[in-house]
Structure 1
Amino acid sequence: MVRSVRRERGLTLEQLGERTGYSASQLSRLERELAPMTVDALRLIADALGIPAETISTAFNAITLGGRGHDGPTGPYPSLPTPTLRRREDGDNVRRRRFLATTAAAVTAAAALPGGQAHADDTQLSELLVSRLRDAMLGLGTPAPCGDGDHLAAELDHAHRDYRTGGYASLAVRLPRLLSTAHAAPSPDHTLLARSYLLTTRLLIKLDEQQLGWMAADRARQLAATSGAAVLVAESSRQLAVLARKAQWHDQALTLTLALTAAEAPELREAGIPGGALRGLLIQSAAYTSAWKGDAAGMRELTTEAAAVAADLGGGTYHLEVGGFSPATVQLHLVSAENSAGDPSRALAAAEAVDPATLPSAERRARLHTDMAHAHHRWGHRDACVTSILAAERCAPQETHARPAVRALVSGLLLSGRTTPDLRGLATRVGASRP
């Protein structure tokens, strides 16, 4: 109806955008039902087009009552994926607990030293980190003596630096302790807790721990809503969209109050540059979901829109707390999206356009190289795949060794063909073996 009336009035999408404050691309998505039409959006567009209220009363009622039906889940979250933690045989459990206890002691002792560098087995860091985060989220962690708000904020800033540099050994000590201590404070800081849980969610997603990821993301959403910080609310929506995508809940990740809905929030538009950067990140997330659905054209259209947002912000790097948003990170995201769309040649072409020096952190540079490794693997370029993983390892060794996705990739290389000294050494460092 909106599209029909707009055309009758002789208005382009750009002209309607001038009257409503929406971009032409946003209006195009609304008209094509690629993004949900909210009551507020419909009212604003109807006023701009002069559509009488009684004409759209049915549409208002449909939106208020939940809109059209969807295939699949209709609740706020999809069914949780199967837990990734498996029960081990008793003897193996005992040995593993002893090993993790030794690793934990080494990591904790090393973190107390200047620089906080640990020398424990990197291949166990992911399990140690997940175990400690789970305990902290369940209230089983030991809080540190409550410092003041400035101390907790400094600890969170340090944890974000650890994340950007791939310092998983330090994170395994600092982040669980921060969660426990922030919860135990006499007057918990909801904003700080929301930021802490958002960082926790990003880590759990990287470590393929979706069950705990949903739990952390939901807490982040509730705390962000309580704090009233529009940027945190939008970022929690982005993380929920990522989890929904990983649970293969693609339609809902695009249409149910997640990525694109959050990007349209008026509060985000009023949040200045941070809000603009988050809006670009949300559009990127929607692009990635389109790629997973097999809609390569839609993915590229949304990526182009995200690039335009980055350019409108002046081309700088913003929002380092969530990994950074800039023209370079949009191009980096395109590498991942082309991989997900099943086109390794386009992924590698996109990677060639990224200067690693322009990426804002070691974590982002490692992401570039691991995405290139996946593209080379799809094409059967074994040597180039290993070279790319080694480059990622040089950027962020602890993260590269801890990530299950890297371990699976290296295991696949061991199984599929000849081995080289580089591959065998890499397999040892990431804890991979022949299946």
Structure 2
Amino acid sequence: MRRRTLFTGAVAAGAALALPRTAAAAGRESEPYDATPDIERLLFTPPVPQQLPLTALQRSLAAARARFTTAAYHELGTALPDLIAAAEALRGSCTGRERELANAATARGYVLATELAAKTHSDLAWATADRAVQAAQLSGEPAVVGEAVRVLAITMRRAGRPAAAVDLLRRTADDLDTRPGPAARAVAATLWMTAAYTAACNHDASSAHDLMTGAAEAVDRLPTGLPPQQLYTVDATPAQADLYRIGIHTALGHPDLAVRYAARIDPAVLPTAERRARLGTDTARMWHALGDGPRTLAALQFVERVAPEEVRRPALRSMVTALVYAPMPTSGARELARRIGIAC
């Protein structure tokens, strides 16, 4: 059966897709990353800003985005305070269109900071998400506003306000879907996907399925070849829609319905290491909910291969620990636990 070999090929694919890393980066990957100290420095003791022209700031922001998409979270956290300080300084010193672009860069910097905070379960995501939305609104770019709203809604969901998060996502997506240009409509599709997963986490199956159906239809209406830089952390593609379906069915307590979506996603189609790691994470949760330890472990090993810092996140470390201390421990789980710094 296809489901029996789901991650046998995926793990092999991960070896080809993983990007080379420096020795220093590999050393940092051996320790779990906590974003809180870097974000505290960003928020409360920002560095003296380096004076950067807009073009240099945009290049620095592109480099920061690359660190996120390759799951180099230690490096990203270290770089963000200087980057955002420079962006804040520039937007305070320029006018007109340049100021709008500086606000967009500032917003996207805070979007990355919020994504980073969310991955390590830091409460400081509230502050960075709020700053992202404020800067995005000043940018005049609907797509940037949508990106900022998405990370704010994720923060709301994690804080126990999923219904309000769904409402915010739905209203913003409905507005973006009426705007001209494919970028705004693509962000709208990602907001509907996020809303569908948020509704599923709130055990609202009807809303989750309706929103996901709308998201998939929106994705199908988009033109092909949308420039990836316009979609900052999540792409609006059929593969991404299938990835969300895995999480939705698992969150609703029907992981068996998620299996066919996991089986049909080719990891190579997902454009970044961070997204391929999300495939491994959601598939691991699916198999774990189905009580299949070996396949859960295979999915976690895939995450380790394509994005080593991802498998050291708190949620995944907990899953590895559960495999080690299960009544019938999964063979190989203890070795993975040791590699990611879990004493056992």
TM-score by length of 1: 0.68
- Of 114, 118, 121 in structure 2, the residue corresponding to residue 205 of structure 1 is 118
In structure 2, distance between residues paired with 1:343 and 1:391: 23
Aligned to 1:387: 298
Aligned to 2:235: 324
In structure 1, distance between residues paired with 2:54 and 2:145: 21
Deviation string, structure 1 residues 261-319 (Cα, Å, up to 9, x no partner): 10121x65224111010110111122112212223243222212111111111355654
In structure 1, distance between residues paired with 2:278 and 2:178: 29
Alpha-carbon spacing, 1:400–1:232, altered in 2? closer, same or farther (3 Å)? same
In structure 2, distance between residues paired with 1:420 and 1:334: 27
1:230 aligns with 2:136: no
Deviation string, structure 1 residues 353-398 (Cα, Å, up to 9, x no partner): 2121211111111111111111111121111111110011111112
TM-fit CA distance, 1:117:
4.8
Contact in 1 for aligned 2:50/2:82 (Cα 8 Å): no
- Of 329, 333, 339 in structure 2, the residue corresponding to residue 423 of structure 1 is 333
TM-fit CA distance, 1:120:
2.8
Deviation string, structure 1 residues 378-434 (Cα, Å, up to 9, x no partner): 121111111110011111112222x11111111122222344663122112322345
For 2:192, the aligned partner's letter is: I
| Superposed CA RMSD | 2.2
In structure 2, distance between residues paired with 1:423 and 1:247: 31
Q: Tell me the SS of whatever aligns to 1:153.
A: helix
TM-fit CA distance, 1:116:
8.6
- Of 7, 27, 33 in structure 2, the residue corresponding to residue 120 of structure 1 is 27
In the comparison of the two structures, how many residue pairs are matched?
314
In structure 1, distance between residues paired with 2:253 and 2:291: 14
Aligned to 1:278: 187
Q: Tell me the SS of whatever aligns to 2:325.
A: helix
Aligned to 2:97: none
Identity %: 31
- Of 245, 248, 251 in structure 2, the residue corresponding to residue 334 of structure 1 is 245
1:305 aligns with 2:214: yes
For 1:329, the aligned partner's letter is: Q
In structure 2, distance between residues paired with 1:337 and 1:374: 11
In structure 2, distance between residues paired with 1:230 and 1:294: 30
For 2:153, the aligned partner's letter is: A
Aligned to 1:86: none
1:408 aligns with 2:321: no
Q: How does 1:14-413 map to 2 (within 5 A)?
A: 117-127=24-34, 129-138=35-44, 140-143=45-48, 145-185=50-90, 187=93, 189-209=102-122, 211-255=123-167, 258-265=168-175, 269-316=178-225, 318=228, 319-401=230-312, 403-413=313-323
Gaps (5+ residues) in structure 1? 1-113
For 1:243, the aligned partner's letter is: T
Q: Which has the higher contact order (CA 8 A, sep 6+)?
A: 2
In structure 2, distance between residues paired with 1:325 and 1:373: 23
Aligned to 2:3: none
Q: Tell me the SS of whatever aligns to 1:306.
A: helix
Aligned to 1:92: none
In structure 2, distance between residues paired with 1:350 and 1:297: 19
In structure 2, distance between residues paired with 1:251 and 1:143: 40
For 2:130, the aligned partner's letter is: D
In structure 2, distance between residues paired with 1:263 and 1:272: 14
In structure 2, distance between residues paired with 1:116 and 1:164: 19
In structure 1, distance between residues paired with 2:49 and 2:319: 38
For 2:57, the aligned partner's letter is: L
Gaps (5+ residues) in structure 2? 1-20, 95-101
In structure 1, distance between residues paired with 2:47 and 2:199: 42
TM-fit CA distance, 1:252:
1.4
In structure 2, distance between residues paired with 1:315 and 1:334: 21
